[in-house]
Amino acid sequence: MTISGRISQSAFDGARLRVILLLDLYEGAQQQFLDAYEHMRNQVASVPGHISDQLCQSIENPSQWLITSEWESAPPFLAWVNSEEHVETVRPMHSCVRDTRSMRYSILRETSPSQPITSQPATEDMQVAARVGDGVVRHALTFTVKPGSESKVAEILAGYESPEAQVDEHTRLRRTSLFMHGNRVVRAVEVQGDLLVALRHVARQPEVRAVEEAINPYLEQDRDLSDPDSARVFFTRAALPAVHHVVSDRPRPADLRRHALYYPAKEGCGMDLARLLAHQDEIAADDPDSPVYGSTVFQRDNLVVRLIDMEGELDADPAASLGLKGMQQTAELERLLDGAAIGVEGSLETERNINRLLSHADMMPITDRSSAES
């Protein structure tokens, strides 16, 4: 089996996807849950890329349930799970469920009576190479604030006291990076261990709760974090999943700086834009002369954010900073990017427009905090 050390996370390996949802129901809520599930499965059955799903009940604890689904690949599932349609479809389940946990896996190997047992993938829709990472999970949240409140929100978000990094013996907060682009906030986190455990730990910290309460009046989307349903809907809509992470295998430079770049895609082109940037960053990781050492691409709907660790300033190499390498890739970015949304019109083959795109895409850093052992 080939092992890939540079790419630790990717939604673009082409493999079929297995999604596992663990649920713990309230006592007496089984029938209500079954009715909600019937509604959900009728909806998801028509979603492009969906293959099948199963509902299972524990033989040991009748309150514990499991939903598994199979998808042609990760992109169609991510498009569905991050859609407003999905938010509304699963809403009836909220009052039935005490706790949930979602896990997503690429299918590497498969055994069935009709297939011989070999060390190779049985079909072309399985991931060929296993990935080796550093045990770090990457995720981001994004939301918008009321126009005119940007400076106040930035002040609040920059001034909070960091929560305790060590969550338990297996989980640790490694890094939190906050950026703003206009009235949009992006908070990216890196967690060693269990992401869900870490997020719940952070949400319980008094200093974090105080910050969340302080920014509530400025949010464009109302929320009440004391109401579980309101909090669940807000964080579902705010989720900005990491779809690709790559890092160079050359020695880590000592003077890396973290930047975030904002790429609004044309309608329906978000996933293709994220895929293009991910591919470009894989090329950069193989280039010993590239200033970009590592990259994480986040994507939801038509919003793509690229977090990069690089040597030097962005404007020292605008094309590399933007993830541009070659005329064909530049033309593809131009085709997918909603340039008008960030004030860039015309061909990206001109130095002037590349510099203008970099200026508009560059997100304002608010805070970047690492734990002592990161």
pLDDT tier, 128 (very low <50, low <70, confident <90, very high otherwise): low
Burial of residue 264 (CB within 10 Å: 0-12, 13-18, 19+) is: buried
Q: What secondary structure letter does DSSP report for 166?
A: B
pLDDT tier, 146 (very low <50, low <70, confident <90, very high otherwise): very high
Please provide the DSSP assignment of 18-48 as one string: EEEEEEEEPTT-HHHHHHHHHHHHHHHTTST
Rounded mean pLDDT, 261-284: 94
Helix H or strand E segment including 102: strand 97-106
- In the chain, % of residues over pLDDT 90: 53
Look-up of token digits 């997020």? 199
Three-state DSSP class for 235?
Answer: helix
Confidence (pLDDT) at 118:
57
Query: Is the pLDDT confidence value at 363 over 80?
Result: yes
Query: Is the pLDDT confidence value at 203 over 70?
Result: yes
Under 8 Å between Cβ of 5 and 282: no
Token pair in block for residue 358: 């970099």
Confidence (pLDDT) at 135:
82
Of 3-17, 108-122, 196-210, 309-323, the least confident: 108-122
Rounded mean pLDDT, 200-213: 86
